[in-house]
Amino acid sequence: MLGAGRDHVVLFNESEEDLADQVYAHLFGGTDAGAAILIASAKHRRLITDRMARAGIDVSAARAQGSFVAFDANGVLAAFMVAGWPDAAAFWQMMSPVLKRAEARPGGVRVFCEMVKQLWDSGQTGAAVDVEALWNELARQYSFSLMCVYPADSVAGAEDGDDLSQLLAAHSAVLHAPGRH
């Protein structure tokens, strides 16, 4: 555990609907509604904002009020990856202002990020583990609840058991652990 307001959970999802429901619950299911930060692919941003709309959340109003921000995972990755590895300073320069603005709002800060999934799926498992560690370092300065995601089938047969062990160790909780349902 990272401490109060600083949990870092990993979701191993099995379907797109599961992903949308779990992310929605993470971002908006708590009683400490403050700021929600979504860092996802275009497809998953659309699925999650559709889920928000079905729940009665006016996505445009939430964006205008600053209680919801969404980023393209590939764009964020491009801002801090150098030669296939995360640059810690660039990561901090990208994420610190976002978290600082979110913390200025009353209530908690909740983040969903699938950048690590994209790294893992492209074979950059070590880089994914490094990004998980960068999030944990960022959590020492900012108070937020983070959910990361990996498709269950992409890690179930992971060739590099060390990277998978490190990935699991970087999180305070595991939802739908590989090989378990």
| Start-end of H helices in 55-105 | 59-65, 73-80, 88-103
Domain assignment present for residue 2? The answer is no
41 inside domain? yes
Please state the domain count of the chain. 1
* Model confidence pLDDT, tens digit, residues 53-89: 999 999 999 999 999 999 999 999 999 999 999 999 9
Kindly state whether residue 180 falls inside one of the protein's structural domains. no
Q: Which domain, by its residues, includes 53?
A: 8-175
CATH number, residue 141: 3.40.50.11570
Residue given tokens 């708590």 in the structure block: 30
Residue 43 lies in a domain: yes
- Most distant CA pair in the chain: distance in Å? 44
| Residue 40 domain-assigned (yes or no) | yes
Q: Has residue 168 got a pLDDT over 90? A: no
Q: Is residue 3 part of a domain?
A: no
Statement: residue 181 has pLDDT above 90: no
161 in a structural domain: yes
pLDDT at 43 over 90: yes
Least confidently predicted of 3-17, 21-35, 85-99:
3-17
Q: Residue 128: how many CA atoms within 13 Å on its side-chain side?
A: 29
In a domain, 151, yes or no: yes
Strand order in the sheet with 8-13: 68-72, 35-40, 109-113, 145-151, 8-13, 173-175
Query: Which pLDDT belongs to residue 142?
Result: 94
- What is the number of helices (H) and of strands (E) in the chain? 9, 8
